[in-house]
Copies of this chain bind each other. A is one copy, B any other.
Amino acid sequence: MYIESPKNPKVQAWAALKTNKGRTSHPAYLAEGARLAVEALQSDRHVEALLFDVAANDDYGRLRQLAQARSVAVHELSPHAFATLSDTVTSQGVMAVVAIPPSPPRYPAYTLVLDGVQDPGNVGTLLRTADAFGVPEVCCSESTADAFAPKVIRASMGGIFRVSVHRTDTASYIRDWMKQHQDGNVVITEADGSTPCHEIPFTHPTLVVIGSEASGVSDAARALASVEAYIPMTARTESLNAAVAGSIVLYESYRQRQSISP
């Protein structure tokens, strides 16, 4: 189906998905670019539609085949209409509209809480890392950048299609997780922590909390923590990037759990 006008009701409904408010009234998000669209179609997520810019440089034959195989509606948009949906500087002229799945918390044995991570790039990078190191669920606090915003989706590089994202307040999630894992550890990372991150006992179920770039973890999370970890580094630097620090802790967790440590 070809859509010419940016004022077409469908286009306006998709454009609304770029905002937090729009995604609240219709739970779906835009995954822009060929790689993300392929990954969406290969994941178990429900893809509501696949949108093409008729002026795109590629005919995206493989993507169209994947869409057809999954009976996904395909729309051809005028460059002007597509531009109202695009969030990139140089668009590839393709995006998927993906439903936000209902995600009741499952409290897996290894889980991650983003407790006020502000930067969408950091949130997306941490979703990507969680996926890489086998963390199936990520809880995002109300103060964390929305996990379905376009910049987060792009930085997640497809992680968003495989990791379950649950939005709630940090303290409730931690308390409910602790009920399911009474021998588990709640780990926060702080510059003045007492346990180097390679000594965190990851043989126990572990909930890792990553705090905000500016002020670290919330008081609520600190009150519930059982391990105050730190990443050994030279004294000169105050901190690592939040996504880097979180990724190092998740790496350590995976390394130890796989018993690949010497």
Contacts and interface: CB of A to CB of B under 8 A. Distances in A.
A133 B196 contact: no
Interface string A162-199: 10000000000000000000000000000000001011
A255 B196 CA distance: 10
A16 to B, nearest CB: 23
A133 B262 contact: no
Interface string A226-251: 00000111101111110110011001
Contacts of A198: 255, 260-262
A27 interface: no
Contacts of A239: 132, 157
B132 A234 contact: yes
A166 to B, nearest CB: 20
B236 A131 contact: yes
A128 interface: yes
A79 interface: no
Contact size class for A?
35 or more
B237 A132 contact: yes
B121 A234 contact: no
A5 to B, nearest CB: 31
Contacts of A233: 132-134, 254
A210 to B, nearest CB: 13
Nearest to A245: B247
Nearest to A133: B233
Contact of A241 (B129, B199, B251, B261): B129
Given A248-B247, A248-B251, A237 B128 contact: yes
Contacts of A244: 125, 128-129, 243-244, 247
B241 A128 contact: yes
A159 interface: yes
B199 A262 contact: yes
B234 A133 contact: yes
A128 B157 CA distance: 23
A103 interface: no
A258 interface: yes
Given A247-B244, A248-B247, A234 B134 contact: yes
